[in-house]
Each structure stands twice: as structure tokens, then as C-alpha cells.
Amino acid sequence: MFEFTVLSTEGRARVGLLRTPHGMIDTPVFAPVGTQASVKAVTPDQLTAVGTSLVLANTYHLYLRPGFEIVRDQGGLHNFMNWSSPILTDSGGFQVFSLSAKNEIDDDGVTFRSHIDGSTHRFTPEFTVDVQNNLGSDIIMAFDQCPEPYNRETNERAMARTHDWVVRCKSAHTRKDQALFGIVQGGVFPDLRSESARFIADLDLPGNAIGGLSVGESKEELRSITKLVADILPSGKPRYLMGVGSPADLVSAVSSGVDMFDCVLPTRLARNAAAMTRSKQMNMKQAIFANDNRPVDIECCCYCCTNFSRAYIRHLCKAKEILGATLLTIHNLHMLHDMMKDMRNAIVAGEFGSWKRAFEDNIDL
């Protein structure tokens, strides 16, 4: 049911095709985040129109609300949110540390308090796999510990736990129509990252993720660690860099051989009145746009840019109209999907090197 085929390469960068029970995914791919079973401010129809082929949803959030039993009873996540294309769920590992009101970790799992109502819950590797088996996503993630990246001792312990837990996840996973991905940890420490990448690679899971990045480290560290880990992870399996979504970071990671990405950036920026282009971010509340009849991005062919002016988008953002968030979400996602497609085409054409140089020359800092 799962198959990953590398169709074309240029240097480390590659174009692939990932087959899932809910359809094919062209890689490199960017997945918008639908934290609570909704990519914020847009409908599934609008998501399809902007070119989304994979959506990420959060196990931590769905477990707390509405509860995985309800999602299961409603026919699984695809039915529940009316998204018939592929879905990936994370394990909740990241959220129990970053979002919960309080958490206590031990070698068996994590006890935490809900950020919604303070109630106490416990996640173990086996339980988060069970929850994800019930949610029914196409790709599920192993339960990991994602610490701050700079303390060596913390990262050694977190890596050891993450390795222990991925083995338990693999044993607990029951559904053949879901692919379990492991997650590499190790903070900013090259030797830990190498060790972790080798360990995860050896498990021969259908895909491998790089976790614990985009959490406060420098751009240099993000890039060097990504490259180091991607080189160790097997080339025949998809490589997934978690939590990355800025245009420059995506281009850099694709050039290091990464195939999959997710990030809240385009949707969160949209709700904060920021438009993304390949070269810069635009704060649409700026007075300079008040009477500007050009589209947000003059090179974009999305619904927002072909139908509305900067003047109107600025007005919507200033007036706190929901439509402002919706239209900027449509634009930001379309822009990222379009950029991923351009990268795939460039790699197939053997022109990714020059494409990347032109992209970097065009960045407006």
C-alpha cells in the first residue's frame, strides 16, 4: 500500500512519488497543518484548489478534543474532516512538551495536563500508536521526546528514550494501511544526530523524519544538521523534516535531499495579516497598501491574487474580517505548493542548481 519511488535526482535533491492508500504524493511536498482536523480558515475544497496533497493533523489535539473515539466512530479522520487525500498525524510527542499545562516524563511515557481544562492524561508509545491507529491517518509518527536543542545531557537522554520508544511503537503498530515513520533526535550535536540517524535507519521503517529542529537553533545549525542526517537516512525512503516551512529553509532542505515538510507558518502568518512570497514577507496592514490596486503577489495565480487587490486585503486585515485570513491562507499555501512544484520541475529538468541560485539572489532581506 506504500511505495516510495525516486524518479529523478540532481545532486542530493530528488523528485519522488509516494503512494498511499489515499492517493499519490509528488515529493518534495509541503503539508499544511490542520491541528484540530481543520487547516485553519479554509475549506477542504479551497485546500484542493491551492494544490494541497497532504495534510498534517495533531494527535495531541484530537485526543483531547473531540477524542479519538469520536473520530473513529465518525469513520476516521478522512471522513470526519472530509479530506479524501493523504493525512499524516504526528504522535503528540512535540505537543505534550510544548503545549501541555504541566508534564512529567519517565522512561515509560509522559503524564501531562491538558492545556484546555487541566485534566491529567498519560501518553506512552503504545498508546499514541493506538490513538493514531484509531484516527486512521495514512502516515503515523513514532512517539518521541523533543527537548531544547542545546543541552547535551538532555539530548542524550531524549535520544535514548526516542530510540527505545520507536521500537515499542513499531511493535504496537497494527494497521498495514498506515505507514509508521521514525524520528531522529540529537539536538545540535553532530555525533548524537549521526548515531540517531543510523539507529532510525536500521529499523527499516517506511519513512524517516528529522525532529527536534526548527525549535530555536540557528539557521546554520538547521542546515548542517539536516544535511548530516539526510545523508545517513536511506535514499530509498522518504525523508521528512518536521516543522519547516519558510521558503528559504524549504529550498535549502530540498537541496540536502529532504522530501517532506510541514509547518504552521503559512497559515499562522495569514491569520496575522502576513503574505508570503518567494522573496519576502509582506505585512498587509501597512499603510503603503491602502490604495494599491495590485494583487498581493503580482506573479501569483491563486484565487486571492487573481480576484482581490492589496487595498482590499489591507482593509480586511485592518477591519479584522475573517475573509482576510482566508484569502491570505489561500495565497500563502498556493505560493508554497507552487514553489515546491517549481523545484520538482527544476530537478527533473536538471536545472535545480541554477533555479536555487536565482531563488537565493532574489531573496529580499
Give the residue with the Cβ less far from its own copies, 38 or 279: 38
Cis peptide before 66 (omega within 30 of 0): yes
Q: How far is the CB of 25 from its own copies (least distance, A)?
A: 22
* One character per residue 279-318, x = contact with its own copies (rule: CB under 8 A): -----------xx-x---------x---xxx-xx-xxx-x
25-44 positions binding its own copies, by CB under 8 A:
36-38, 40-44
Residue type, 99: L
Q: Residue 99 interacts with its own copies (CB under 8 A)?
A: no
**Cα–Cα dist 165/53, whole Å:** 29
Give the residue with the Cβ less far from its own copies, 247 or 295: 295
End-to-end CA separation in angstroms for the chain: 44
Which residue's C-alpha cell is 523533543? Answer: 146
- Set 90, 249, 259, 297: catalytic member: 90
69-98 positions binding its own copies, by CB under 8 A:
70, 73-75, 80-82
Give the residue with the Cβ less far from its own copies, 119 or 307: 307
* Active-site residue, 144 included: no
C-beta of residue 26 within 8 angstroms of C-beta of residue 53: yes
> What does the DSSP assignment read for 297-322?
STT--SHHHHH--HHHHHHHHHTT-H
C-beta of residue 262 within 8 angstroms of C-beta of residue 249: no
Maximum distance among all alpha carbons in the chain? Answer: 60
Give the residue with the Cβ less far from its own copies, 163 or 310: 310
Give the residue with the Cβ less far from its own copies, 327 or 347: 327
* One character per residue 5-24, x = contact with its own copies (rule: CB under 8 A): --------------------
Q: How far is the CB of 81 from its own copies (least distance, A)?
A: 7
* Active-site residue, 262 included: yes
| DSSP β-ladder status, 120-123 and 110-113 | antiparallel
The contacts of residue 218 (CB under 8 Å, 6+ apart) are none
> What does the DSSP assignment read for 97-136?
HHTSSEEEE-SS-EEEE-TTT--EEEE-HHHHHHHHHHHT
**Cα–Cα dist 206/346, whole Å:** 26
- Set 249, 262, 297, 338: catalytic member: 262
Q: How many CB atoms lie within 10 A of CB 2?
A: 17
Q: How far is the CB of 301 from its own copies (least distance, A)?
A: 15
319-338 positions binding its own copies, by CB under 8 A:
319, 321-323, 325-327
Please identify which residue in 7, 11, 23, 65 interacts with its own copies, judged by CB under 8 A: 65
Please give the backbone phi and psi of residue 100, each rounded to the nearest 5 degrees, phi first. -65, 155
Binding stretches for its own copies (CB under 8 A): 36-38, 40-45, 61, 65-66, 70, 73-75, 80-82, 290-291, 293, 303, 307-309, 311-312, 314-316, 318-319, 321-323, 325-327
Q: Could you give the residue numbers annotated as active site?
A: 90, 262
